[in-house]
Structure 1
Amino acid sequence: MKRLVLITRQQETLRCFDIVNRSRSFELEIRETPDWKKLIAENGSMVYLDIGSMSPREARKAIRILESQDTLAYGIVDPKGMIEDPGDLFHGGASDYIGPELTGKRLSMSRINQALSFYPYIEDEEEETEDLSWENIREGEEYPFYLLYAELDILPEWKKKSGSSFITGLLNTFENHLNRIALPLGGQLWMKSNYGGLYLFPYSEGSTDIIPACMRMILNRVLISMEVFSYGTLLPYHFSLDTGTTVYRKKGNTGTLISDAVNFIFHLGQQYTQPGQFILSSRAAEHIPAGLADCFAPCGTYHDQHLLRMKMPK
């Protein structure tokens, strides 16, 4: 997910960022004052500085600080037209300039993406190849994750003819089986729902083994129903996979967590994905292992995110 930091004291008047703020492709953080030391350490973020509430002297000083940083991508928001020569900003290393004609208009996603790629930040090779692991994840900090929603599709007749202990037994067996599959892949059950839950995996670049593991569970549903559950019935379940960033809190301590990524995967898993399906967001689809791409087909969009569905054998 692309990250933007907007430094402004007048967010409500800057309609230019409305579309970005609603997009799931961007994470927009609003700060009222520039903490230069912290900003400079956040390599990979695009910083927009609103100089509309600054004096000319404050604006010049802030721009000089931005120009002195080689690895910080930045743009200037100028609602009052204080900058006489916007072209000179680009000579100093700026990636974008949003003048008074644009601050009151909604900028398109393509317009922002052009700014992000104007002076692309190139990470160190060591940073690009370093994978996240639970050892370096700390509670209260934000990290990228694979988010897998798994749910057992409880049949209506089970609710009518079977007691609650029967369904509870099914869910416990389902959870235990998923844990045996997820744990070797670095996953852990993070949040429970009525009939399933959200599994969290530390993010890594490249392909992921989470996808073929879910595919095997979908394809082997008959064998799993017989060997693992032993309830004499074919068990339906579905999976939804996305990638996104969220603040990490320990299991059981997530009641007040606010996260777009978590909300999206729960909605995708509970409201969109049908029984027996395995659905990937386009973000997760970037990590399909080589040779398995043809096993998925586009199946529409959900909350502006293109989706792919695993094909089933005929």
Structure 2
Amino acid sequence: MRVLLFTDTRSCIEGFDALGRSKNHSVEVYPTGDLKPVLEEVTHDTFIYLDITGLSIASIRPRLKLLEDSVSSRFGVVDRNGTLKDIAEAFQRGASDYIDGRLLRKGLTTARFGRVVEFATSGEAGSRQVQIPVPAEIYPSGSVWDDVEPGEEYTFQMLYVGLDHMKELRRKSSEDLLRTLRRTLQGILTRSFAGVGGRIWVWKEDDGVLLCPFDGERVTALIPAIRLVLNRVLMNIEQFSVTTPISWRMGLHVGNTRYEASGETSEIVSESLNFIFHLGERAVRSGQLAVTETALAFAPDQVSNWFLRGPEFESVPLYVLRDLA
């Protein structure tokens, strides 16, 4: 697709480098002052980004009106400094994307842009005027941890893991043995997800959440999670020193949270973190691996085919791993 970027700064252009290098899209850059004459020449198969950084609200609104009335009418807003105090205003005027400073620094990926275009071209314009698309809320944390800074908000792969049947185990086992079980499981999790950057982030007594970096394009934690399901019997034989079979349930989601180091998370307020704990504690059955529709959307087809549609939880569609025995 032809992408027109109206900006007056080099740093904004750099955020579109990856998109410009792709085979399926081209990026043309114009100064913001050329918006009106260029719009008179655009065709329908064009997507426009307007950088409003440094512009006054009085000058932004006429430009948004021009975009709203253009032949293409597919556009997004780049707002590095948060000039728009009410982001919904952009979408009410027909925008399909909103890029803030943090997302611009990460760079616009082709996968993300594809979802933006899908949103822009699906449904009626009226529906776009009242919905902020999910891609606008994705802040990739990268494929590794190098660029993740404490205090900043990112999108992560969030994996809930909880030990099953703990009431029965507490009745039969000493505290020392229970501590050993928990340490053993944590060790298994650390080793199993090391290859995808997984870290145990929050851990309560018998359950917790791992974070894996998310690059905005693919979920990598799913295969290690499936491996944990398939190898549970062998792990019981080789690594757990109890006669009662040990099982665990898992739930995978892609969500946003402010990042702080493990052990310093008590003051974090995150809807996604609350959701993944509620999912694991209330909706996932013993021994089960459940994945939200959001997470499964970023999984390879050959992996997602092994999941069956399950019930919804808190209005979020769930998928559960088939019985692979």
Q: Give the TM-score taking structure 2 as reference length.
A: 0.61
> Within 5 Å, which residues of 2 pair with 1:1-314?
60-64=58-62, 71-72=76-77, 94-95=93-94, 114-115=128-129, 131-313=142-324
Distance in 1 between residues matched to 2:148 and 2:162, nearest whole Å: 26
Distance in 1 between residues matched to 2:274 and 2:141, nearest whole Å: 27
Seen in structure 2, the aligned counterparts of structure 1 residues 111 and 243 have a Cα distance that, compared at 3 Å, is: farther
AA paired with 1:218? V
AA paired with 1:95? G
1:204 CA drift (Å): 2.1
Seen in structure 2, the aligned counterparts of structure 1 residues 232 and 281 have a Cα distance that, compared at 3 Å, is: same
Q: How many residues align?
A: 231
SS in 1 for 2:301: coil
SS in 1 for 2:300: coil
1:155 CA drift (Å): 3.9
Distance in 2 between residues matched to 1:182 and 1:253, nearest whole Å: 22
Seen in structure 2, the aligned counterparts of structure 1 residues 298 and 136 have a Cα distance that, compared at 3 Å, is: same
* 5+ residue gaps, structure 2: 1-47, 68-74, 96-122
Distance in 1 between residues matched to 2:214 and 2:199, nearest whole Å: 13
Is the CA contact 2:198–2:211 (under 8 Å) kept in the aligned structure 1? yes
Distance in 2 between residues matched to 1:197 and 1:222, nearest whole Å: 22
1:271 CA drift (Å): 1.3
Superposed CA offset, 1:209-239 (max 9, x none): 3111111111111101011223233211011
SS in 2 for 1:291: helix
Q: How much is the aligned-residue C-alpha RMSD, in angstroms?
A: 4.0
1:152 CA drift (Å): 1.3
* 5+ residue gaps, structure 1: 1-42, 48-57, 78-88, 97-108, 123-127
Q: Give the TM-score taking structure 1 as reference length.
A: 0.63
Residue 98 of structure 2 corresponds to which residue in structure 1?
none
AA paired with 1:63? R
SS in 2 for 1:191: strand
AA paired with 2:129? A
AA paired with 1:234? P
Is the CA contact 2:164–2:247 (under 8 Å) kept in the aligned structure 1? yes
More relative contact order, 1 or 2 (CA 8 Å, 6+ apart): 1
Seen in structure 2, the aligned counterparts of structure 1 residues 132 and 213 have a Cα distance that, compared at 3 Å, is: closer
1:67 CA drift (Å): 6.2
Seen in structure 2, the aligned counterparts of structure 1 residues 283 and 250 have a Cα distance that, compared at 3 Å, is: same
